Amino acid sequence: MKCADAVARLQTAQDQFALRYYEWSMTQAEQELARGLVNVQRVSSSTVFLFLDFIGNCSASEARSLVMGNVKRFNSRGLQLAGHSVTSQESSIQSKFKGYFREEVLVGGQKLISARVPSREMEIHERHRLGQDSLIIKKTELKKLLKQSLAPQLGKPEAIAGSGLRYCQSFGPWYLITSLDLSGTAQLYYSQILSARSVVDSCPTYLQGGISPLSWWGIQPETAFDLIQQSGLPAVAEFVREMVHHFAVSLPPLLVGLEHGIPAALEDC
C-alpha cells in the first residue's frame, strides 16, 4: 500500500474520531470549569497565566464562552460534523482576550502599546532575580523525573535523537504516541498523536494530532511550559503522568468500531 492510499483509507475513521474527540473535549472543558480550573493552574506558562488573569475579571458566563469557543476552534472538523457553530458571544469574548495580550503604558509622557505580563509571571521572575528559585532548570533532572513518573504505565521511552522522550502505546489497531520535547523554545512541550502506525515518518497516517490537556480544556492549541521553576520539576512530572493516564483511560470508548487495515510498512516510505 502507498501513502496516498493509506491516507485516503483513513478519512472515514478520522471523521468519526474527530466528532467523538470534539464531544469529549467539550465535556472535559465543562468539567475543568466546574473544578475551578485547578488543573489548568498547574501548567507554568505565560499564556496560561495571562488567561487566568483575564478570566479573573470575567463573569462565569464569559469564562465558559471563551473556553467552549476555543474548543470549537481547535476542533474545526468535529465542530462541522456536530453541526455546531461558534456563537456571537464566544467570538466577542475571544476578541477581548486577544486584545488583552497588549496593554497601554505611559513612557516619558508618551502612550505606548506593550505586551502584557501576567501577575504570576512577574512574581516568578522576581523570585528568580532574588535567588529564591530559578527559571534556569536542569533539563536532565526533569527528563529523569518524567521517565520515572511515566515508567509504570508507559515503560521505557523509544530511542530518539535529541533531548526529548517518546513513548508508543497500542490500542487495538491504533497507536498513541506521546512526545515530550525539552529542546524547543519552551522548557517542555507535551503532545500526543493517534496513528494507524507506530512509526513517525513522511506519511501522516494520523487519526488525530495535537492531543494535549490545554487543547481539550479550551485554553490554547498546544501544551507548552515556559515558566517552570527548578523547585517545580517534580510537580511537572506528576502533572504529565496524571494527564497521560487520564487520556489513556478515556481513549478506548472513543475508538470503538474504528479500524483501518493499513500495514506498518508502506511502499513509498
Provide the domain count of the chain. Answer: 1
Tally the residues of the chain: 269
Determine the residue type at 144. Answer: K
User: What is d(CA 141, CA 35) in angstroms, rounded to the nearest whole number?
Assistant: 31
Q: Is residue 195 included in any domain, yes or no? A: yes
Q: CB within 8 A of 77, min separation 6: which ones?
A: 14, 15, 18, 22
Q: Across all residues in the chain, what is the average pLDDT?
A: 93
pLDDT in tens, 141-173: 999 999 999 999 999 999 776 779 999 999 999
Q: Is residue 40 included in any domain, yes or no? A: yes
How far the first Cα of the chain sits from its last, in Å, is 10
For the record, the C-alpha cell of 72 comes out as: 470549537
Kindly give the interhelix angle for 233-255 and 11-34, rounded to the nearest 10 degrees.
130
- Other Cβ atoms closer than 10 A to 139: 15
DSSP assignment of 125-136 equals HHHHHTTSS-SS
Strand duo 223-225 + 165-171: pairing: unpaired
For residue 57, give Cα distances in angstroms to 8, 34, 217: 47, 17, 19
Report the chain's C-alpha Rg in angstroms: 20
Q: Is residue 101 included in any domain, yes or no? A: yes
Find the domain containing 42 and state its range: 9-255
pLDDT at 109: 62
pLDDT at 267: 77
Q: Is 198 helix (H, G, I), strand (E, B) or coil?
A: coil
pLDDT in tens, 62-92: 999 999 999 999 999 999 999 999 999 999 9
pLDDT at 42: 97
Q: Is residue 66 included in any domain, yes or no? A: yes
Candidates 185, 176, 179; CA nearest to 251 is: 176
Torsion on CA atoms 9, 85, 189, 226, rounded to nearest 10: 170
Q: Is residue 1 included in any domain, yes or no? A: no
Sign of CA dihedral 154, 159, 163, 166: negative
pLDDT at 92: 97
pLDDT band at 268 (very low <50, low <70, confident <90, very high): confident
pLDDT at 225: 98
Q: Is residue 269 included in any domain, yes or no? A: no
pLDDT at 160: 72
The pLDDT of 167-182, averaged and rounded, is 96
User: What is d(CA 202, CA 61) in angstroms, rounded to the nearest whole number?
Assistant: 43
Q: Are 205 and 197 in contact (CB under 8 A)?
A: yes
For residue 158, give Cα distances in angstroms to 7, 151, 170, 264: 25, 12, 14, 17
pLDDT at 183: 87
pLDDT at 106: 57
Q: Is residue 202 included in any domain, yes or no? A: yes
Candidates 246, 269, 260; CA nearest to 174 is: 260
Instruction: State percent of the chain over pLDDT 90.
Output: 83
pLDDT in tens, 105-148: 655 666 667 788 999 999 999 999 999 999 999 999 999 999 99
Q: Is residue 163 included in any domain, yes or no? A: yes
pLDDT at 31: 98
Cα angle 134, 135, 137 (rounded to 5 degrees) comes to: 85
User: What is d(CA 244, CA 178) in angstroms, rounded to the nearest whole number?
Assistant: 8
Instruction: State percent of the chain over pLDDT 70.
Output: 96
Q: Max alpha carbon distance in the chain (Å)?
A: 68
pLDDT in tens, 25-43: 999 999 999 999 999 999 9
pLDDT at 110: 66
In this structure, of 102-111, 205-214, 215-224, the range with the lowest mean pLDDT score is 102-111
Q: Is 114 helix (H, G, I), strand (E, B) or coil?
A: strand
Residue 52 has pLDDT above 60, yes or no: yes
- Bridge partner list, 167: 178
